[in-house]
Structure 1
């Protein structure tokens, strides 16, 4: 076990890295979470059962959870390689910047991301690795392409993804994407370190970074693809999400328009 406090890095929130194991694989899987309780544990159990922890180093990008879900001994038993705990300002965008920084510093050739609420088919990781190996720079997981599955998707979310979010992202990217809200993705090192990306900027606080990275690859001529994934919502009970119905969705619309106008593009 190796723990280190990382502070005062430009464009990266202060964080603590708890390295359970050294780097073992060519690619890593970053999972941003905040108080996901047993959902993240069930997801990691599925990953371990399917050997995903042997294909990629699993890195938990925690927003400083307080529900006990990030107990190091439990994470270790579930095949986690490293726990990063964000201490600086920001939400999902900051957690991803933290994860990307750590991954690039560690020398991974590509980074996969997936939500930590156990809605996505973590078993699909090999599809993303295959595309990275083929030279793709941005791979978007989609429940709406052939082989993908959208299970119990709330009607309003289905409508928003199909008729608002994905069309706007596709327009901005000048390339058709079918499931642009989905954070199940992969990025090449070439993309993440490209001088026309510059992802380590404090402007990416919430969902801005996901929107920006959805469109920037095609804008700068990199190779992109979609792969089929499953996204399953619970059969009953509360839908696991961090986006509030009104304020959260209004913020997403604002981000989409800022993205369309190029407000997140590097200035130099």
Structure 2
């Protein structure tokens, strides 16, 4: 059920197909060019298992043409027409999934770095009753390719240990956006993820902490994440990005994101 006090960005929506599945895959993108095209072409046939929803932050590169999305079996294109970044895109996708009656949501970045072949495993975990499933390249069976050293050190020595301590659950790959969420988790009044303060990367860390704290079934599963050889393309500077992540961790520690 959608609540009147939920804060959701303004967006435009195009539906190319009717709802076909009880799960959906939300893919946040902005100007991903050939990367999102290659990723969609790699997606396994999920007909009847999960519908694909693109969460566009306002792309201007022509990569999300209607004909192409139909060809790739994308059900819906949502385009944000409001402020906010990743967490804002996720909020609009989560609300749409709830409105459409989906039972679970898988999220995966649209930059062609993730093993989209692993999506059926996330679906299976939702079927088994798990509420929050974190993909990890650092559990047995997981794989990393060309992970930048600074990112790997930050994840292993700072982000994952800190989030694990706050959550009371041992995570290994907490910045990874390849995840699954049950609708019952997202609708919990003790969680309240539909707030404007979730704007950049706050929602990723917040959900990781709160899901186990609220008693939901949580686990990690192996995935593969691959970076290109050479300079890593990024939309945020390493210094600015690391400072933002540290700010989010401190806010989590002081429970600044908890509902009033």
Which TM-score applies when normalising by structure 1?
0.93
Q: CA deviation at 1:157?
A: 0.8
Q: CA deviation at 1:242?
A: 2.8
Q: CA deviation digits over 1:195-247, x for unaligned, max 9?
A: 111111001000011110111011111110101000001123x3133331111
Counterpart among 24, 34, 41 of residue 30 in structure 2: 34
Distance in 1 between the 2:178 and 2:140 partners? 16
Instruction: Return 5+ residue gaps in structure 1 as ranges.
Output: 1-7
Q: CA deviation at 1:261?
A: 1.5
1:251 aligns with 2:257: no
Partner SS, residue 74 of structure 2: coil
Contact 2:21–2:47 (8 Å) recurs in 1: no
**Residue 217 of structure 1 aligns with which residue?**
211
Partner SS, residue 41 of structure 1: helix
User: Post-superposition, which runs of at least 4 consecutive aligned residues in structure 1 deviate over 2 A?
Assistant: 52-55, 240-243
Q: CA deviation digits over 1:11-48, x for unaligned, max 9?
A: 1000001011111101000000000001000000000x
**Residue 240 of structure 1 aligns with which residue?**
233
Distance in 2 between the 1:177 and 1:53 partners? 31
Distance in 2 between the 1:186 and 1:243 partners? 25
Aligned residues: 257
Distance in 2 between the 1:116 and 1:240 partners? 13
Distance in 2 between the 1:264 and 1:185 partners? 20
Q: CA deviation digits over 1:180-202, x for unaligned, max 9?
A: 00000000011011111111100
1:22 aligns with 2:18: yes
**Residue 118 of structure 2 aligns with which residue?**
124
Range 64-73 or range 106-115, more displaced: 64-73
Distance in 2 between the 1:27 and 1:137 partners? 13
Q: CA deviation at 1:9?
A: 8.1
Distance in 1 between the 2:83 and 2:64 partners? 19
Counterpart among 84, 89, 92 of residue 95 in structure 1: 89
Distance in 1 between the 2:18 and 2:151 partners? 39
RMSD, aligned CA: 1.3
Distance 1:143 1:57, change over 3 A: same
Which TM-score applies when normalising by structure 2?
0.96
